A and B are shown apart, each in its own frame.
Chain A
Amino acid sequence: MDMPKKNILSSQLDLSKFVKATDEEKRQADVMSESTTFFKDGMRKLMKNPLAVGSIVVLALILVLITIVPLFVPYSYEQILSVNGVRDTGAKNLAPFAYSQMEQAYIAQGGKVFPHIMGTDELCRDYFIRVIYGTRVSLFVGLFASIVVLVIGVLYGAISGYAGGRVDLIMMRIVDIIYSLPDLLVIILLSVVFRETMDFSKIPFLSSMGTNMVSLFLVFGLLYWVGMARLVRAEILSIKENEYVLAARSIGAKPGHIIKTHILPNCISVIIIATALQIPSAIFTESFLSFLGLGVALPMPSLGSLANTARQGLQSNSLKLVFPAVMICLVVLAFNLLGDGLRDAFDPKLRK
């Protein structure tokens, strides 16, 4: 349909704005009406972020590596190399893919020796498997500490934020006090106390991790949740002002039900993001403590303790430091980028 042309100087309405929509334009509206949930929408955005996708791929690869490698590498992390049951004293500080003299002789006889992909350490242990186990330990520490922080922080923050008033005031002052404690000092003190008083050797899992790890987890449980608690509280304070929370109360819903079905789902994005960013910080803390000699008990390796040991032979065997350091960087960077990606995708305040 032809529209009369509008004089530029005329104050008349522009009739071209009132043309009927074509069929094609109407179909566009149809596609728009597809129902998307908040989660789907966020995931779509996350998948568009190349850095986040890259981090997911890297983390998946590392995860596959640390689960599969110990299955087919014939060495274990604390095993000193031996050939035919004889201790291989020459396999000290081998370069990557090098064989010791005993192993070379064994190969010459027709025997098979699995290559030392990253060489060996100063105690004649295969370094590759130690780095893999170290990554396992570091990742486990990171995940476990984050879960501890998540559970305590979310519970505490949710109660404080939902209750409000005097309860909130007192709970937040406790948080302030905990915030002011020097965490490193507490870790050191706790590990000393535990070494003197507690015996973890009966408990199968903890005995291999050592008392230092127990105190590390405990410190995460005691000190590090405060950031999460503050975050969750602030989020809940704003969410609970929404009328749908009042509507749930007017229906007769109990506070527990309201927190579970209305408040937590609406701040889940903040919680996911904070947890994703908590993992690298926990890994970092563990590496740092292991580097200081306060980490996992020997001979269990962690990335930090591997780096610490490698420091002594830095000039002759610098690769021994490079492998764990690169692994720490990869893991920490991947989690940080993933956390940033999650925040960009899920935080409604950053929506454009």
Chain B
Amino acid sequence: MSDSKYLVEVKDLKQHFKIPTGFFGHIDLKAVDGVSFNIKPGETLGLVGESGCGKTTVGRTLLRLYKPTSGEVRFNGELVTEQNITPLRKEMQMVFQDPYSSLDPRMTVEDIIGEPLDVHKLYANKNERRDKILSIMELVGLNAEHATRYAHEFSGGQRQRIGIARALAVNPKFIVCDEPVSALDVSIQAQVINMFEELQEKLGVAYLFIAHDLLVVHHISDRIAVMYLGRIVEIADADELNNSPIHPYTLSLLSAVPIPDPNKARQSKRIILEGDVPSPLRMPTGCPFRTRCKYATEKCAIECPSLTDRGNGHMVACWNK
């Protein structure tokens, strides 16, 4: 089965949430509307986009925390279904955004990290469990004496390390990192991101790194996908995307990245989009970005562009660029 060169393959994934309107009716909220991408073993795919564009939903649907409306996810060439998800949870893990609410306040660090081991019964006796937990804690830079403490006794960065340790406990091949650093201070962000990179080198784990900070994503990712209103509009190698973006939305996103040199910053021109993001309850026809795009034509309103290869695996979904 695993003759595919990709670790994770996502094909036309859709996640529509039903929003009840009144007693019987409901309308669909198209949080994710036809997303496809692949991730190689040991690779990092960055996923960026503004708030509410469906980044987190992609990550969660990928791990079957939500049941997808349609589309398929393959892991190691194997189709992920409701039946085989439980053993696959050992291979695919998640690191959460909020290090405060993602750790149970009633559990010690040892139990939090040990929980995945308990669930999958990955140890023969108590000593083995403890040894495994301590070795994982060492891996993420926590001291052995922290094991008996409770999560509320730690700082945000340390809490995120605990969350990462929990994800690593079952030796996964793939981790969805759902904005793992956006709740942290900038200096702590750097520590945690460097740790992600070190862990990838040591363990060869692949990441889907969700964030809204383009600098962070560019730093850690091999490839970057840009999302807008539930669709991927551009996907390319990190450097390629940064240096020669094609999609108008990516252009405006990149122009919003702060430049640490004031002289350069003064010269650069910000592309400011007009209007607001349309509600995902009432998506525009055709291309979702057309309402704010200065290149929009009639064709954009009729048909939604699909991702097309512009060379070197640089995929863009736009009619006009």
If A33-B153, A249-B65, A252-B120 touch, does A243 touch B96 (CB 8 Å cutoff)? yes
**CB distance A243 to B90 under 8 Å?**
no
**CB distance B153 to A257 under 8 Å?**
no
Contacts of B63 in A (CB 8 A): 250
**CB distance A248 to B93 under 8 Å?**
no
CA of A178 to CA of B162, assembled, Å: 45
If A33-B153, A35-B148 touch, does A253 touch B106 (CB 8 Å cutoff)? no
Asked if B98 is at the interface (CB within 8 A of a chain A CB), the reply is: yes
Closest CB of chain A to B133's CB: distance in Å? 14
**CB distance A247 to B96 under 8 Å?**
yes
**CB distance A252 to B86 under 8 Å?**
yes
Closest CB of chain A to B287's CB: distance in Å? 32
**CB distance A251 to B106 under 8 Å?**
no
Asked if A179 is at the interface (CB within 8 A of a chain B CB), the reply is: no
CA of A253 to CA of B115, assembled, Å: 9
**CB distance A35 to B150 under 8 Å?**
yes
Closest CB of chain B to A271's CB: distance in Å? 14
Asked if A244 is at the interface (CB within 8 A of a chain B CB), the reply is: yes
CA of A248 to CA of B93, assembled, Å: 11
Interface set, chain B 61-117, CB cutoff 8 A to A: 63, 65, 85-86, 89-90, 93-94, 96-98, 101-107, 115-116
Name the residue of chain A whose CB is nearest to the CB of B92. Answer: A250
Contacts of B101 in A (CB 8 A): 242-244
CA of A9 to CA of B123, assembled, Å: 67
Asked if B26 is at the interface (CB within 8 A of a chain A CB), the reply is: no
Contacts of A35 in B (CB 8 A): 148-150, 153
CA of A38 to CA of B107, assembled, Å: 10
Contacts of B93 in A (CB 8 A): 250-251
Contacts of A65 in B (CB 8 A): none
Contacts of B86 in A (CB 8 A): 252
**CB distance A246 to B104 under 8 Å?**
no
CA of A54 to CA of B104, assembled, Å: 34
**CB distance B105 to A38 under 8 Å?**
yes
**CB distance B104 to A257 under 8 Å?**
no
**CB distance A247 to B102 under 8 Å?**
yes
Asked if B166 is at the interface (CB within 8 A of a chain A CB), the reply is: yes
Asked if B46 is at the interface (CB within 8 A of a chain A CB), the reply is: no
Asked if B1 is at the interface (CB within 8 A of a chain A CB), the reply is: no
Contacts of A253 in B (CB 8 A): 115, 119
Q: How many residues of A contact B (CB 8 A)?
A: 20
Interface of A is mostly: helix
**CB distance A251 to B115 under 8 Å?**
yes
Asked if B54 is at the interface (CB within 8 A of a chain A CB), the reply is: no
Closest CB of chain B to A290's CB: distance in Å? 41
Closest CB of chain A to B63's CB: distance in Å? 6
If A33-B153, A35-B149, A249-B65 touch, does A244 touch B119 (CB 8 Å cutoff)? no
Asked if A262 is at the interface (CB within 8 A of a chain B CB), the reply is: yes
If A33-B153, A35-B153, A266-B104 touch, does A252 touch B98 (CB 8 Å cutoff)? no
**CB distance A251 to B148 under 8 Å?**
no
Contacts of B115 in A (CB 8 A): 248, 251, 253, 261
Asked if A315 is at the interface (CB within 8 A of a chain B CB), the reply is: no
Contacts of B49 in A (CB 8 A): none
Residue picked from B90, B101, B120, B149, most chain A C-beta under 10 Å: B101
Asked if B248 is at the interface (CB within 8 A of a chain A CB), the reply is: no
If A33-B153, A35-B149 touch, does A250 touch B104 (CB 8 Å cutoff)? no
CA of A129 to CA of B104, assembled, Å: 50
Contacts of B89 in A (CB 8 A): 250-252
CA of A266 to CA of B151, assembled, Å: 14
**CB distance A265 to B96 under 8 Å?**
no
Name the residue of chain A whose CB is nearest to the CB of B146. Answer: A35
Asked if B157 is at the interface (CB within 8 A of a chain A CB), the reply is: no
Name the residue of chain A whose CB is nearest to the CB of B89. Answer: A252
* Chain A 226-248 interface 0/1 with B at a Cβ cutoff of 8 Å (1 = within): 00000000000000001110111
Residue picked from B85, B96, B106, B148, most chain A C-beta under 10 Å: B106
**CB distance B150 to A252 under 8 Å?**
no
Asked if B288 is at the interface (CB within 8 A of a chain A CB), the reply is: no
Asked if B163 is at the interface (CB within 8 A of a chain A CB), the reply is: yes
If A35-B148, A251-B115, A252-B90 touch, does A246 touch B106 (CB 8 Å cutoff)? no
Asked if A37 is at the interface (CB within 8 A of a chain B CB), the reply is: yes
Name the residue of chain A whose CB is nearest to the CB of B104. Answer: A244
Contacts of B119 in A (CB 8 A): 251-253, 257
**CB distance B166 to A247 under 8 Å?**
yes
* Chain B 2-43 interface 0/1 with A at a Cβ cutoff of 8 Å (1 = within): 000000000000000000000000000000000000000000
**CB distance B94 to A250 under 8 Å?**
yes
Could you list 9 examples of A-B contacts with CB < 8 Å?
A: A38-B105, A243-B98, A246-B96, A250-B65, A251-B93, A253-B115, A253-B119, A261-B115, A265-B106
- Give me the interface of B with A, judged by CB distance under 8 Å: 60, 63, 65, 85-86, 89-90, 93-94, 96-98, 101-107, 115-116, 119-120, 148-150, 153, 163, 166, 170
Please give me the 5 A-B residue pairs with the lowest Cβ-Cβ distance, nearest first. A252-B89, A243-B102, A244-B104, A251-B116, A250-B94
